[in-house]
Structure 1
Amino acid sequence: MYICNCSYTSKLKAVFFFGLILSLCCACSRAGARRVSSYDHYWVKAADERVEADRKWADYLFNHLDRRTGSRSVALRQKPAQGTFLQIVVHVDAKGKHDYSAVLDGDVLRLTACDEDKMLWLIYQFLASGEDPRIEASDLPPAMIDIAHAEGDFAFEYRGIYSPSNADPELMPVTASHHVDYDWGLWGHNLRRVFPGEVPEEALAWVDGQRDENQFCFSSELLFKAVEAYVTDNYGEAGGVRFAIMPNDNGAVCACKACMAAGNTRKVATPSVSRFIRRLAERYPHHLFFTSSYRTTEVPPAEPLPQNAGVIISAMDLPLRPDFAGKRPAENFSRKVKEWRKVVSRIYVWDYMRNFDDYFTPYPCLGVLSERLRYFHSLGVKGLFYNGSGYDYASFDDLQTAALACMLINPDLPL
């Protein structure tokens, strides 16, 4: 589990910029490299042997060090009787000051993370830091932190990248990135999936005096029961799965008596959709349910939704160009985010990282994305989905994906 797929990383190594990125990422930690690599051994231990998470991740780090240093055997489970050693203390602390910290104090390196996902990422940051040539890490993306002097918080809780170079589910935890094909129960305009066959007529919208097979009625009890069965059967009650509940991608709005009574108009479906999401969020308090600020649901609901409800806002109208901040499109986007923040606890943004007219021409977007990420973070956005080229080739995709994965953790990193 969590062992990198070499077929992916061999491609990454083949690109000319890999060595350049590695040298740049390690430049800030050169002062600590001699300190870390000069020890004969690493003594890996749990901060508290009584805590299962500490033991688990101390063992995980030990096993990787043992495997990645081969016959040299620099990793030890017990304090060595002779030779110099660096003690590495592993601690998962949900109440810590920061999401992660890596602090070298004397002969002790303390690796601390707020949860197990971030601890996994932090361990691979250590392995990929380049501070000890005895550690074989050519299959890993380069580290983005100084492993001896780093602490901080992840800027966004969700960091989705839809690109060819982020299509390996075993590598995603290593880079702390996400992918909608793997970590959403429902994504996008895919509500039809809750029905195994044809959508029943009772679940279809009433438009211009007849049923519209291209849109849903969000007052339909049959539709709610179908979504309920889909969630329970596939994901259970316990948790933390994200679901996007969106109307189909058109301007049709259900005008049945129940939807009109909820507050629908000919162009606005927000009232019936938000009522539907409220029911789901209350039914499954441990899952997360998102609507979209798009077309017929662009305006926020009149009343706040439960804490486990959110919205996905498209950044399509925010020009992908430098110095966009302060311009009218940015002012409009900021206003929209602020309005939605009054009614939902989570705002995610759907943004773009590709020139969809031509995947083969290099698309120099990293500088603009860096600026946009800082802007989104300043607005309190909690999650980003970057729409790339899916599983299709795009020039410099591996470079852009690797850099963007780091910037989604820390938008202030220098390019």
Structure 2
Amino acid sequence: MMPRATTGVCASLFGAFPFDVPASPDSDRPSPRFACSVFLFPGMNRAASSLPEGPAMDSPSVLDTYRFSTLAAPPAERFDAWAATSGSWSFIAPDDRSVPFDCQFDATRIGPFTMGRRTWLNPDRTIAYGMTRTARQVRADGLDHYYLLLHLGGSITWQFGTRTVDTRPGGLYLIDTAHAFDCIVKTGDTVIVTLPRDLFHPDTAKLHGCAMAPAMGGILTDYLLAFHGNLAGLSAAQVPYLTQATTNLLHACVQPCPDTLMQAGTEIDAALRERARSYIEQHLTDPGLCPDAICKAIGVSRPKLYRLFQPDGGVMKLVQRTRLVRIRNMLADPTRPRTRIADLAWRYGFASDKHFSRSFKAEFGHSPRETIEQSPRRSDEASLAPVAAAPRRELADPTFSEWIVKGNRRAA
């Protein structure tokens, strides 16, 4: 049974914050910094032919899009094919294997996030299946996102340790992929927006499993559905403007601090933050990367820079976190030549191996050595144990998780 929801926790922690927080013994437990994705479950199941199509969606040079359909597999093997394309979860077979698992999925990269849709192609025959995400998969797969789930059809019952969360039609919920879980999925359509954790205030992790209040949730739902419905017509020149507008709206709806609504409308500050982040990303190995250098590059004073990145714990905290994420992605990438951990730590500005290892473990919950030992490829193979008969995918045909992580590395 889902614990009774209360708005009091949100009010006391964050002021007028648009989430309802379920009462739970685990609700105050801090979360390691991993990931954000937005799941929207449209209520009317629609056939694949109703999805927007067009040149913009089909051209990788315009918008980078991931697509997968189980219809290419024989009916008896379609669930296994679906499990094989995930990469970050283990699957438990549906309760009714006589129903073909006819499903397709597409996701398009829009700036720092992705907009996707899962379409269940058997709307007259709903089935349930299980998914699990282990602590080992959390450590190994490189995802650094949340999931914001909106169900208008279908549902998921989540088990986070001793805590149960039912995400049902009409609710918008935040799920943190830093947590292991077990869940039961009842099939339905899903629209998914994947958001990197570093776009949000660190306290956002406290909202794991919480429901967004109806007013803000309704605004965000309408916007995201309209956005997805018009993806096919977007040009590359329009993407930066839509990225900024979408990021601002998501901040207004999700950020756990009372000044977020004001910040969402401050385009200048948002642009300055983006310029500073871009400069930081481009100079991670520069030993001279410091507040003065960043101020000079983006044309602001030190007090202004500190105010811009106060929600991140300070600009140098962001620099360290960004360096750690870059190193983690390099260590977890099985296609890269192996480099000594000490050499990477020195290259990215850490004073000593001990300082680097301590900072790395504090950020990700495991050591750099564990990241190497549990590369995404090995983790993906292990995750398919419950459906061992699933067909193997070629290296040129990545899982969805690999596609997400690859995009993050490319951006880095």
- What TM-score does the superposition give when structure 2 sets the normalisation length? 0.29
Larger Rg: 1
Considering fraction of residues, name the structure with more helix.
2
Q: Which has the higher contact order (CA 8 A, sep 6+)?
A: 2
- What TM-score does the superposition give when structure 1 sets the normalisation length? 0.29
